[in-house]
């Protein structure tokens, strides 16, 4: 089922205080980006992020590296913001409407919601039981009567609908009315809503202390894996070498089936290693003619996509080039910039360095050039 998402992020986060909560860092990255990554990994064809009008510019910069994501201005209430998102989304069968204030979304929840629509449900949302007693209270904070908890669930987002249904439900809703969530709008049309098992990590950041709680929950089932990669290529005829995506003039070339970029090949193997996904030769066999002369950027993008599919986030990469010549120093920063751009990492988390082998061995005799790399990934345990 082709699906898109509307992620509402136009609130001020007054109860959480400080800058709007959806843009504040959570586990080292702006909270909004976590939901976008989960939706893209799950296969979203299009995502509309709805933000306050003064946040359109900053939000566009934040999502600049993400394909299939665009930004729209929202409205005074959540309902207005959802309306803006639904008006902007394109040609999809289903739409998930999600609070940016719930960054703990996983691709598994997205799949479960789509599966419910797939078996004919009108709408679906994640929900959890209410373990605490519920009490009505007076203005002075004194308990009044207890509310029945049986048959009560707390409902989370994303909430999933067929696009035409939810558009029709919003069109039928009184203009200016404000709804707690989108299920309420859909239910007003008489539709049945399927509740699937929610996830503690889908808690909504509402108060200042929620950031620390959610960070703990989100990191509980993740582990850090370090992958290692090695590559070497022989020198041959030529007037340049390509290393970490940068063309360097030289009095020799590198012999290889693809562009012989040993730096990026070692890095691809390091990422594959952290994912336990075999090696570059298994993914791009040298026997396959289509990889002849191939730009290694394709291999690196492939490795990064495999990591995203596995729900992994790349934290840091470190490439070491081993050669007497050409001198790497003058090209080091260009190599870091190219690598950072392809992997979508900040420059401070991309290291490229070089060493000679003091004229010893095959590298010292300049028969060829070698590279080693490590990649540090955080991934589900």
- Give me the residues that bind Mg ion (CB under 5 A), please: 11
Return the residue of 100, 127, 214, 377 that touches ligand CTP, per CB under 6 A: 100
**Cα torsion 47, 48, 52, 56: sign:** positive
Q: Which helix (H) or strand (E) holds 216?
A: helix 210-219
Contact, 232 vs 262, CB < 8 A?
Answer: yes
Output the CA angle 288-293-298, nearest 5 degrees. 80
The stretch near ligand CTP (CB under 6 A) out of 13-21, 192-200, 213-221, 315-323 is 13-21
Question: Is residue 206 part of the contact set for ligand CTP (CB under 6 A)?
Answer: yes
Q: What is the Cβ-side half-sphere exposure of residue 97, based on CA atoms within 13 angstroms?
A: 30
The stretch near ligand CTP (CB under 6 A) out of 6-14, 289-297, 324-332, 340-348 is 6-14
Whole-angstrom Cα distance, residue 175 to residue 188?
14
Return the residue of 5, 31, 50, 96 that touches ligand CTP, per CB under 6 A: 50
The item of ligand CTP, Mg ion, none sharing an interface with residue 327, based on CB under 5 to 8 Å by kind, is none
Question: Is residue 53 part of the contact set for ligand CTP (CB under 6 A)?
Answer: no
**Strand, helix or coil for residue 322:** strand
Beta carbon of residue 101, minimum distance to Mg ion (angstroms, whole number): 9
Whole-angstrom Cα distance, residue 216 to residue 64?
28
Question: Is residue 204 part of the contact set for ligand CTP (CB under 6 A)?
Answer: yes
Residue span 107-136 as binding mask against ligand CTP, x where in contact by CB under 6 A, dash where not: ------------------------------
The item of ligand CTP, Mg ion, none sharing an interface with residue 9, based on CB under 5 to 8 Å by kind, is ligand CTP
Say which residues have a Cβ less than 8 Å from residue 156's Cβ, sequence separation at least 6.
Answer: 102, 125, 126, 127, 128, 198, 199, 202, 203, 204
Question: Is residue 14 part of the contact set for ligand CTP (CB under 6 A)?
Answer: yes
Say which residues have a Cβ less than 8 Å from residue 138's Cβ, sequence separation at least 6.
Answer: 144
Question: Is residue 59 part of the contact set for ligand CTP (CB under 6 A)?
Answer: no
Round the CA-based radius of gyration of the chain to a whole number and report it.
25
The item of ligand CTP, Mg ion, none sharing an interface with residue 292, based on CB under 5 to 8 Å by kind, is none
The stretch near ligand CTP (CB under 6 A) out of 39-47, 95-103, 325-333, 344-352 is 95-103
Whole-angstrom Cα distance, residue 304 to residue 348?
18
Question: Is residue 181 part of the contact set for ligand CTP (CB under 6 A)?
Answer: no
Beta carbon of residue 81, minimum distance to ligand CTP (angstroms, whole number): 3
The item of Mg ion, ligand CTP, none sharing an interface with residue 214, based on CB under 5 to 8 Å by kind, is none
B/e letters for 29-49, b = 16+ CB within 10 Å, e = fewer, are ebbbbbbbbbbbbbebbbbbb
Q: Which residues make up the interface to ligand CTP (CB under 6 A)?
A: 8-16, 22, 50, 74-78, 81, 99-101, 204, 206
């Amino acid at each position: 089922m082709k699906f898109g998402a509307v992620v509402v992020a136009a609130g001020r986060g007054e109860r959480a205080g400080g800058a709007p909560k959806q843009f504040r860092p959570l586990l080292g990255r702006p909270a909004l980006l976590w939901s976008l990554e989960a939706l893209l990994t799950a296969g979203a064809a299009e995502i509309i992020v709805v933000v306050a009008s003064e946040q359109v510019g900053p939000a566009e910069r934040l999502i600049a590296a993400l394909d299939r994501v665009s930004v729209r201005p929202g409205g005074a209430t959540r309902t207005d913001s959802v309306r803006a998102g639904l008006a902007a989304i394109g040609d999809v069968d289903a739409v998930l409407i999600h609070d940016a204030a719930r960054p703990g979304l996983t691709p598994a929840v997205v799949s479960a919601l789509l599966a419910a629509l797939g078996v004919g449900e009108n709408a679906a949302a994640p929900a959890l039981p209410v373990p605490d007693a519920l009490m009505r209270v007076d203005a002075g904070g004194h308990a009044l009567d207890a509310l029945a908890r049986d048959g009560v669930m707390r409902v989370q987002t994303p909430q999933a609908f067929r696009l035409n249904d939810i558009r029709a439900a919003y069109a039928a809703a009184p203009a200016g009315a404000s709804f707690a969530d989108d299920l309420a709008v859909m239910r007003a049309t008489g539709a049945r809503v399927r509740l699937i098992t929610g996830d503690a990590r889908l808690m909504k950041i509402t108060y200042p202390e929620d950031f620390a709680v959610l960070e703990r929950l989100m990191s509980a089932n993740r582990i850090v894996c370090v992958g290692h990669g090695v590559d070497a290529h022989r020198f041959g005829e030529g007037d340049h070498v390509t290393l970490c995506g940068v063309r360097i003039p030289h009095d020799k070339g590198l012999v290889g089936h693809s562009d012989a970029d040993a730096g990026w090949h070692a890095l691809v193997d390091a990422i594959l290693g952290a994912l336990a996904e075999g090696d570059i030769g298994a993914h791009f066999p040298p026997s396959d003619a289509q990889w002849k002369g191939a730009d290694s950027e394709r291999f690196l993008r492939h490795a990064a996509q495999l990591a995203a599919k596995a729900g992994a986030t790349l934290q840091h990469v470190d490439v070491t080039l081993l050669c007497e010549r050409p001198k790497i120093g003058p090209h080091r920063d260009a190599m870091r910039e190219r690598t950072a751009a392809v992997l979508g990492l900040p420059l401070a988390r991309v290291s490229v360095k070089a060493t000679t082998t003091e004229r010893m061995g095959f590298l010292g005799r300049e028969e060829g050039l070698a590279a080693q790399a490590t990649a540090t990934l955080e991934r589900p345990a």
